[in-house]
Amino acid sequence: MCIRDSYFFVRANATFTRVAILFREGLTGRDVVLVDPDEEHLGGVVDRSIWPDPAGERLAFGVSDPASRWMEVRVRDVATGRELPDRLRGLQARRVSNLSWNPDGTGVWYDGFAPPSGEDPRAARLRGARLAYHELGTEQGEDRIVLRAGPDETIDHRRTDDGRRVVAMVRDGRGVRAVHVLDASDPAAEPRLLADPAPQVMVQELADSSVNLQLRVWTSAGDFWDVWWDLKKHVKESVERAGLTIPFPQQDVWLRGEHETGGLAAESRGR
């Protein structure tokens, strides 16, 4: 895989139970081992799936249990070899799940399932197929779930060659049920909203303690309740990230009195 004249590739034995990930700068450069299969802290087998970011500065790769279908994705800095704290669970190994970087390399899109919890991962069932977005430096629990599939459906995705779009496909037992085209640079975009009629934001009321806005969007009947709850959650989180708080009813009280000289007393203000 070539990124800006830098080459990322794997070397493996015939059964792919020993996989090393290497990096070479230019065709005549020296091969540098980025991930060594003998590293003790890996805790599993390096998967052959590799995902360098658009600038070739970071590499996402998978580590899996040979007896399990599950894979944990990790990220390393190419220049220093330092491993970042990011960990993504719930992905499928052996090139089943896919991962795509956003254009500026600050986060990744990935398709997978609800991570196994409190059970043997080797026997855990696949459930909760989803497409999610992870921002580097955050916990996986904070990831935005962009798409959710039904009980008998799966999701896979690909990034377009120009890096501007993410194409997600929802599949059932009969084939592709739906295709969503997303803006790769905007993980907050809601793919279940209809473009026509267009979303609207209106000033609903100039209230005593707030300016009330109304957001009006359209979606399919089958997605209505999921969109309803997900948008409420997203709006609240966006408001908090912007440093705003929910306005509570409040009142200013002015206390006035007379000084001994007959002048106006100092004013105190409370809420």
pLDDT score, position 177: 84
pLDDT score, position 95: 74
C-alpha–C-alpha distance, residues 246 and 270, integer Å: 19
pLDDT score, position 244: 80
For residue 28, give both structure tokens: 């005549």
- In degrees to the nearest 10, what's the CA dihedral of 32, 54, 155, 85? 60
**Rounded to 5 degrees, what are φ and ψ at 73?**
-95, 135
pLDDT score, position 271: 46
For residue 8, give both structure tokens: 């990322």
Spell out the per-residue pLDDT of the chain, length 271, in tens: 888 889 999 999 888 888 999 999 998 999 999 999 888 778 788 988 899 999 999 999 999 877 778 889 999 999 999 999 999 999 988 778 999 999 999 999 999 998 777 666 666 777 889 999 999 999 999 998 888 888 888 999 999 888 888 999 999 888 888 888 888 887 767 777 776 787 788 898 988 778 888 888 888 887 888 888 888 877 887 778 778 877 777 777 888 766 554 554 444 444 4
* Residues 193 and 199 sit within 8 Å (Cβ to Cβ): yes
pLDDT score, position 195: 67
